[in-house]
Amino acid sequence: MPHHFTRKFHRDRALFKRWAELDDALFEKVSRERLIAAQSKLQGYIVLPSDPAYDADRKLFNPVFNTYPVVIVYCAVESDVAIALDLAKALPLPFTVRSGGHCTAGFSAGYGALIDVSALDDATVDETNQIATVGTGCPFSKLDSVLAGCGLHVPGGECADVCVGGYVQGGGYGFTSVTYGMNCDNVIDMRVMLADGTIVTASETVNRDLWWAVRGGTGGNFGVLLSVRYRLRPLGDVFGWALIWPLATDADFQNATQALMLLQSDYMLDALPPALNVQVSLCYQPGTEGGLSPSGPLYPYLMVRGLYVGSQADGQAAIQPLCDLPGAIVQWTKVDSFYDLNNDLLNVPYGMPCLPPGSPMPFEDKASRYVTRALTADEWQGLLRFYVTSPNTLSYFYMEFYGGAINAYAPEGNAFVHRTSAFNAVLDVFWFNDEQKGPAEDFLEGWKDYLQPMWNGEIYQNYPQVGQPDYGPCYWGDAQAGLYAVKCKYDPDGAFRFAQEVCPIMPPGGGVGPVIILPDWLQKALDQPIAR
C-alpha cells in the first residue's frame, strides 16, 4: 500500500494542517518544525494545549493536581519513548513520565513535556515457566485478569487503575504481600530506557546496581521503565473476610481498642502467619449491612479485612479470635478468586471512602507513617477518638500490616527499605470545594502530629506528599546514598528531575555531605560499565 494511503499518514497530515493554522506564539517553547519531525516518526501521537482533548489528557487521577504541560506525547511502542525523550530534553522545563497518573504527590505530570506510556500495556504469560512479561502501562485490572485465567499470581495493586510502572518502582504493597512479598520482590528483570534513548536490561546478573535501585528507588529517577518480568505463583481460590466495630459510644471505643490490642499482640510481625494478609481501616459508612443509601447519614467504624492464602477452615480459624471479641460484627466471609476478593475487600458492602453514586472524584491529600513499636491501649484509643473528629465523612484511615515475606526479604536485596515495620499507617483526606479544603488539610496535619511519637521516621515512597521535608531518609533510609550513586551512573546529566528526586545526602543547613562507604557488592556493580 502506498504510504499516503496509510492511517498514520492521514492522521499526521490532519495534525500538521491544524498546527499550521495556529498562532506562532503557541510554538515559542517548542517549534512547529521540531513537533512535525517528532510526529512523523511516532507511532503514537502528540497533543498540544490547543487541541480539544488536551484538557482531559493533561489531568491526573487526583484533581488537586492541575498542571499544564507544554506538550503531551502518547507513546504507542517502545521506540516512541526515545523520540519523546529527545523532544522533551529540548524544552527548558523538566519532563515527566506517566503510566497511570496515580502518584499521590502529582509527580505524574508537570509543565514541560508529559511522556505518556499507558499504551505500553501488554501482559503475556509463560504458563510453563510461570513468568509474566508486563508493560509499564499495564493496569492491575488487566494484569490480574490475565493471571486469573492462568491460575497464577503476583502481588498487585488494590486500585484497578494503578499501573505497573510507578507501583513496582516504589515497592508495591498488595493484599498478598505478607504471603509473597512486595511486588518489587518478585521481579526477575526489567527493561529500562535511559535518557539517551538506549535500552538496558537490569537483573541480578546484568546491571545489578540498576536492578537494585529501580525496585524501590521510586519511578522517574533513573530512566523510563518499559517492561517487567515477574516470577509468578500458582494461586487458586482464597478466603476473605470483613469484620466491623461501630464507633459511637464509650463502650464501642473500648471494644475497638481491645480489637486493636489483640491485632497488635497476635497479628503483627512475627505473630502474623505468612498466609494471613490484614488491613485495618477507619471509615465512615451508612451502616454494617448492605442495601443502605450512601447518600444518607454516615457513621464511623473500625474495619478489619483481609485475605488468607489457604482453605476456608484454616482462614476462619485464623480470624476466629477477632470474631469472638465484644462488639465484632462479621459483615461477610467468602472463598473466591483473588481477582474478585481484591475488589470486595475495598468495596463491599460500601466503598472507602463512601461516596454517593455519580459523585465526582473529590480532591485528595494523604500521608504515610511507618510504625515499628507496640502502641499502648491509650494510644490506640486516642487514635480512634482523633479519627472521629474528622471535619467530614470522607476521611479514610488505614493500616497495611507488614510481616511474613515482606520482612523476611534480604535487606540488601533491593532499595525498598521498610523491612522492620509492623504496619504502614495512612490517612487520606478529601474535599469538594475550597471551604472544605482547609479543615481537611488541618485534620491531616493533626493526625501527623498525633502519630509523631509512634512513627519510626519512614514513609512509603508510593504515598509521597508534596512538601515533605527530608524526604530522602524517609523514603529510602540507608539506601539513599547508593541510589544517588546509581542515578549519577545511569542518568549522568540529570535528565530525570522532579521535586522529590533521589539526591545526595546533605547535612542540616547545607555544606559538604558525609563520606559514604557503599556496600562492597554495590560498589563493584557501580564500577562496572553499563551493559547495553
267 and 360 housed in the same domain = yes
pLDDT in tens, 314-328: 999 999 999 999 999
335 and 401 housed in the same domain = yes
Min mean pLDDT across 68-72, 127-131, 381-385, 510-514 is at 510-514
Share of the chain above pLDDT 70, in %: 98
Are the C-beta atoms of residues 395 and 440 closer than 8 Å to each other? yes
125 and 103 housed in the same domain = no
Average pLDDT, the chain: 95
Are the C-beta atoms of residues 400 and 279 closer than 8 Å to each other? yes
**What type of residue is 265?**
S
- CATH code of the domain in which 48 resides: 3.30.43.10
In a domain, 457, yes or no: no
pLDDT in tens, 442-484: 999 999 999 999 999 999 999 999 999 999 999 999 999 999 9
In a domain, 407, yes or no: yes
Whether residue 297 is preceded by a cis peptide bond, meaning omega within 30 degrees of 0, is no
pLDDT score of 308 = 98
pLDDT score of 183 = 98
In a domain, 458, yes or no: no
Instruction: Return d(Cα 84, Cα 116) in angstroms, integer.
Output: 9
In a domain, 337, yes or no: yes
373 and 487 housed in the same domain = no
Rounded to 10 degrees, the C-alpha dihedral 225/227/231/233 comes to 110
* 285 — pLDDT class (breaks 50, 70, 90): very high
pLDDT score of 509 = 67
416 and 500 housed in the same domain = no
Answer yes or no: is pLDDT of 102 > 90: no
Q: 400 in helix, strand or coil? A: strand
* 490 — pLDDT class (breaks 50, 70, 90): very high
65 and 205 housed in the same domain = no
Answer yes or no: is pLDDT of 158 > 90: no
55 and 160 housed in the same domain = no
Half-sphere exposure of 176 (CA within 13 A, CB side): 27
Half-sphere exposure of 41 (CA within 13 A, CB side): 16
Q: What is the mean pLDDT of residues 80-91?
A: 96
* 511 — pLDDT class (breaks 50, 70, 90): low
Domains: count for the chain = 3
Instruction: Return d(Cα 88, Cα 67) in angstroms, integer.
Output: 16
Q: What is the mean pLDDT of residues 277-301?
A: 96
Instruction: Return d(Cα 404, Cα 406) in angstroms, integer.
Output: 6
108 and 8 housed in the same domain = yes
Answer yes or no: is pLDDT of 512 > 90: no
Are the C-beta atoms of residues 175 and 158 closer than 8 Å to each other? yes
In a domain, 57, yes or no: yes
Q: Which of 125, 123, 124, 120 is nearest to 140 (CA)?
A: 123
Instruction: Return d(Cα 232, Cα 125) in angstroms, integer.
Output: 9
Are the C-beta atoms of residues 101 and 201 closer than 8 Å to each other? no
- CATH code of the domain in which 249 resides: 3.40.462.20
Instruction: Return d(Cα 203, Cα 211) in angstroms, integer.
Output: 5
* 26 — pLDDT class (breaks 50, 70, 90): confident
pLDDT in tens, 108-155: 889 999 999 999 999 999 999 999 999 999 999 999 999 999 999 999
366 and 408 housed in the same domain = yes
Q: Could you identify the residue written with the cell 502530629? A: 449
pLDDT in tens, 397-433: 999 999 999 999 999 999 999 999 999 999 999 999 9
Q: Which of 116, 136, 167 is the last residue of a domain?
A: 116
Q: What is the mean pLDDT of residues 31-56?
A: 95
Paired strand residues for 501 = none
In a domain, 459, yes or no: no
Are the C-beta atoms of residues 138 and 227 closer than 8 Å to each other? no
pLDDT score of 49 = 94
149 and 275 housed in the same domain = no
Answer yes or no: is pLDDT of 2 > 60: no
398 and 501 housed in the same domain = no
Min mean pLDDT across 10-14, 192-196, 230-234 is at 10-14
Rg (CA), the chain: 24
β-bridge pairing 113-116 and 96-98: parallel
pLDDT score of 516 = 80
Q: Which of 116, 137, 162 is the last residue of a domain?
A: 116
- DSSP class per residue in 406-437: HHHS-TTSSS----S-SEEEEEEEEESSHHHH
Q: Which residue range forms the structural domain that includes residue 503?
A: 120-235+466-532
Answer yes or no: is pLDDT of 186 > 80: yes
Instruction: Return d(Cα 496, Cα 136) in angstroms, integer.
Output: 17
249 and 304 housed in the same domain = yes
Answer yes or no: is pLDDT of 513 > 70: no
The better pLDDT of the pair 511, 385 is held by 385
In a domain, 461, yes or no: no
In a domain, 278, yes or no: yes
Three-state SS for 232-260 is: CEECCCEEEEEEEEECCCHHHHHHHHHHH
Q: Which of 67, 99, 116 is the last residue of a domain?
A: 116
- CATH code of the domain in which 514 resides: 3.30.465.10
Q: Which of 78, 177, 160 is nearest to 119 (CA)?
A: 78
- Count other C-beta atoms under 10 Å from residue 214's C-beta: 28
Min mean pLDDT across 8-12, 85-89, 124-128 is at 8-12
